[in-house]
Structure 1
Amino acid sequence: MIGAIIGDIVGSIYEFNNHKTKEFDLFIKESTFTDDTVKTVAVADFILDEHGNPGQPRLISYLHKWYKLYPNESYGAKFTQWIKNFDKIHYVDFEPYNSYGNGSAMRISPVADSISSMKACLENAKFVTEVSHNHIEGVKGAQATASMIVLARDEKDKEELLNYIVNKFGYDLSSTVNELREVYEYNETCQRTVPEAMICFIESTDFEDAIRNAVSIGGDSDTLACITGSIAEAYYQEIPEWIIEETVKRLPANIKRVLFNFYEEVQSQYPKIAELIFKYTL
């Protein structure tokens, strides 16, 4: 989860000002969290509430709750229109909007971070995604990202990870980061964000390098880096302490509280990262 938030914050200043090299400051004064972080936190908050109704209407209420807390964080137009209707439509009748936008993959990391079974991962990713992104490509993008996170925690042969995604989901992961840097353009669909984010991870040498790869290809930089970061966290199991410190200090107290509580639940999956989360969110 923190990997996704780091990617979001680092990529936030490059989304509409693409920087097509790996040489850039990870954090500057203007670096900030966006809707990618808010929605990710909403999903984590939903997962943490063990005493609430597990149904999809309650998940929507969490997305609505966090949207209202942070309504100006560059949400997509369709999501904004959809979530605003929650005030007007009885939740039982609330319908998804058939989206295949990359928002389904960007917010999915808490699902994968909190479970280890691949069957449960695919089922829960579908459940969480279909409240809004019920298009087949929207669900596919979320499931592919979540399953890569689950696999990456244990499987360290990147060729095996790549083959799983290609065979299971049919994504083309044959491009290189250098090739993408030359041709990739802004795109908000799962079809043209999830494979690219995975390539940026596959080619990386460590967590920071994965984030730099993602920003360097351009496009929807914050979401690309968010998805890439969520996978890189699971695979490398280590994030430089200064990066976590710089990230956490840009987060408000209520987001830090969810972050702390979530890593209390998943610390066995991410022991080194959890230790740093606790240090900087207390």
Structure 2
Amino acid sequence: MYGAILGDMVGAPYEFDRGNKSKDFEMWNRRVRFTDDTVMTIAVADAILTAGKDSGEKEIKEELVKKMQAWGKKYPNSGYGGRFVHWLGSRKPKPYGSYGNGSAMRVSSVGWLYDTIEETREVARWTAEVTHNHPEGIKGAEATAAAIFMARNGATKNEIKEYIAKEFCYDLSRTCDEIRPGYHHDESCQKTVPEAITAFLEGSDFEDVIRTAVSLGGDCDTLTCIAGGMAEAFYGIPIKMMVETCDRLGDDMIEVLQAFDDIRNGDSSDDTDIEGNSVIFSAVKDFRAETTHENLANVVQAFCRRIKEGGRFIVPVIAPQALTEKLDLDHVAVGDEFRTDVDLSFKFQHIEDNDGAVWAVAFTSREEYEKGAGSDTLVMDIEQLLEGFAGNTSEAGIMINPWSENFLLRKDLIKAIVEISKEEK
């Protein structure tokens, strides 16, 4: 749901058709801020986590009302609609037949938390019905959550498009170029969700989805919020964008996001996403034995394969003594110095080679990590780690497995791997 929150923030300055309907804009300008979309996205996640995601309809709906009212009162000036403001202040709040896009903007966590598309759609319906019990309001929430569920589970864009068109009868035949000229501010699900899905389908990567959604105009924060949730599930989010997003949230929101990550990711000690890194270890070993272009190409392909499989590395960091638990990568920025979602300063562990070049360090397995001195660690997505170091950082690159069959992953090679991986998607 980070993608939904980011989309809300980035789209907010251009709501009410205040943009120039272009993809060329400054993404992190001073007007970027969260709105009611983010507050209610947090509220829905908080409600499900508090009730327990395996709870029934009655329990979850009761918690939804409590949390949505509580978060709404905590952030009262976030741009809520008139009827929703009345609902927030009611002692006995009842659904009011809305088909507004609020049901779709707040549902992204549901797309991540459940194991089947049937469960996902059912709980999405519950999250809508406490306010938006009109069929179109319910449909918008279900369609958004279903698209996120499919994207995070490896469905292609064509598969997502076909399912959404068939199940929800949304017209996804138009291109963004066809939508853009005559599209104006409309807060209904039926005039927001199809456009958001189209922006997601057309986008070439996470950032391009966000820019495409903003370029359509209209109810821009909500449209981009919906598209961003789908884009995160399909592409992931660049680490630097994650940090920009978290920097603009309150500590109370960050706490919910942490709890959400804990539930979504399960036991952080599970090394399932690390086990497949043996292909990288073997390719590096062959390259060290015989330094040929063919063996180097095999190393690159091994990295690309693990990125496609969602592989992760163990990355040692220098952490404040106050923090004793390993942190999830989703709140970490790549670079010499970075911050976490708890607003503490961290640094990567570095190794300096004989020429004075400084390298970040990463390990393909626990076995490799345990050959050296212990430290605090993060388990980080290979793709996001490489994308971060492909940019302007002070390090020369990443040293893989420094204690044995080490490999210097230089900036130019990192960039090549990132580019190839994107092409293969």
TM bin (shorter chain)? over 0.9
Residues matched between the structures, number: 275
Aligned: 1:234 with 2:233: yes
In structure 2, the partner of 1:20 is 21
Cα-to-partner distance string for 1:1-48 (whole Å, 9 max, x where unaligned): 100000000011110312301000111112100000000000011111
Q: Verify the 8 A CA contact 2:101 2:187 in the aligned structure 1.
A: yes
Q: Verify the 8 A CA contact 1:211 1:229 in the aligned structure 2.
A: yes
- Aligned residue type for 1:6: L
Q: Verify the 8 A CA contact 1:259 1:277 in the aligned structure 2.
A: no
Match among 328, 337, 341 for residue 281 of structure 1: 341
In structure 2, the partner of 1:260 is 258
In structure 1, the partner of 2:163 is 164
In structure 1, how many angstroms separate the alpha carbons of the residues matched to 2:112 and 2:70? Answer: 22
- Offset at residue 141 of structure 1 (A): 0.5
Q: Which has the higher contact order (CA 8 A, sep 6+)?
A: 1
In structure 1, the partner of 2:41 is 40
Q: What runs of 5+ residues in structure 2 fail to find an aligned partner?
A: 267-272, 274-309, 313-326, 333-338, 343-425
Aligned: 1:11 with 2:16: no
In structure 1, how many angstroms separate the alpha carbons of the residues matched to 2:241 and 2:63? Answer: 33
- Offset at residue 50 of structure 1 (A): 4.0
In structure 2, the partner of 1:191 is 190
User: SS of the residue aligned with 1:133?
Assistant: coil
Aligned-residue RMSD, C-alpha: 2.0
Q: Cα–Cα, structure 1 residues 143 and 274, in superposed 2: closer, same or farther, change >3 Å? A: farther
In structure 2, how many angstroms separate the alpha carbons of the residues matched to 1:202 and 1:128? Answer: 25
What is the identity percentage for the equivalent residue pairs of Structure 1 and Structure 2? 44
In structure 2, how many angstroms separate the alpha carbons of the residues matched to 1:280 and 1:201? Answer: 28
In structure 2, how many angstroms separate the alpha carbons of the residues matched to 1:95 and 1:50? Answer: 20
- Aligned residue type for 1:25: E
- Aligned residue type for 1:280: T
In structure 1, the partner of 2:90 is 85
- Offset at residue 271 of structure 1 (A): 8.5
Cα-to-partner distance string for 1:147-174 (whole Å, 9 max, x where unaligned): 1111111234211111111111100001
- Aligned residue type for 2:149: V
- Offset at residue 100 of structure 1 (A): 0.3
User: SS of the residue aligned with 1:19?
Assistant: coil
Q: Cα–Cα, structure 1 residues 183 and 271, in superposed 2: closer, same or farther, change >3 Å? A: farther
Cα-to-partner distance string for 1:95-115 (whole Å, 9 max, x where unaligned): 200000000000001111111
User: SS of the residue aligned with 2:13?
Assistant: coil
Q: Decide which moves more: 54-63 or 241-250.
A: 54-63
- Aligned residue type for 2:86: Q
- Offset at residue 184 of structure 1 (A): 0.8
Cα-to-partner distance string for 1:220-242 (whole Å, 9 max, x where unaligned): 01000000000111111x21111
Match among 47, 61, 68 for residue 66 of structure 2: 61
User: SS of the residue aligned with 1:54?
Assistant: helix
- Offset at residue 267 of structure 1 (A): 2.4
- Offset at residue 274 of structure 1 (A): 5.0
- Offset at residue 189 of structure 1 (A): 0.2
Cα-to-partner distance string for 1:119-148 (whole Å, 9 max, x where unaligned): 111111111110000000000000011111
In structure 2, how many angstroms separate the alpha carbons of the residues matched to 1:155 and 1:243? Answer: 23
- Offset at residue 55 of structure 1 (A): 4.0
User: SS of the residue aligned with 1:18?
Assistant: coil
Q: Cα–Cα, structure 1 residues 113 and 55, in superposed 2: closer, same or farther, change >3 Å? A: closer
User: SS of the residue aligned with 2:189?
Assistant: coil
- Offset at residue 266 of structure 1 (A): 1.1
- Offset at residue 276 of structure 1 (A): 2.2
In structure 2, how many angstroms separate the alpha carbons of the residues matched to 1:129 and 1:274? Answer: 30
Q: Verify the 8 A CA contact 2:112 2:152 in the aligned structure 1.
A: no
In structure 2, how many angstroms separate the alpha carbons of the residues matched to 1:48 and 1:274? Answer: 18
Q: Cα–Cα, structure 1 residues 30 and 36, in superposed 2: closer, same or farther, change >3 Å? A: same
In structure 2, how many angstroms separate the alpha carbons of the residues matched to 1:224 and 1:192? Answer: 10
In structure 1, how many angstroms separate the alpha carbons of the residues matched to 2:190 and 2:173? Answer: 14
- Aligned residue type for 1:60: V
In structure 1, how many angstroms separate the alpha carbons of the residues matched to 2:153 and 2:71? Answer: 32
Aligned: 1:140 with 2:200: no
In structure 1, the partner of 2:126 is 127
Q: Cα–Cα, structure 1 residues 217 and 274, in superposed 2: closer, same or farther, change >3 Å? A: farther
Q: What runs of 5+ residues in structure 1 fail to find an aligned partner?
A: none
In structure 1, the partner of 2:289 is none
In structure 2, how many angstroms separate the alpha carbons of the residues matched to 1:140 and 1:156? Answer: 20
Q: Verify the 8 A CA contact 1:263 1:277 in the aligned structure 2.
A: no
User: SS of the residue aligned with 1:132?
Assistant: coil
* Between structures 1 and 2, the one with greater strand share: 2
Q: Verify the 8 A CA contact 1:41 1:258 in the aligned structure 2.
A: yes
Q: Verify the 8 A CA contact 2:48 2:60 in the aligned structure 1.
A: no
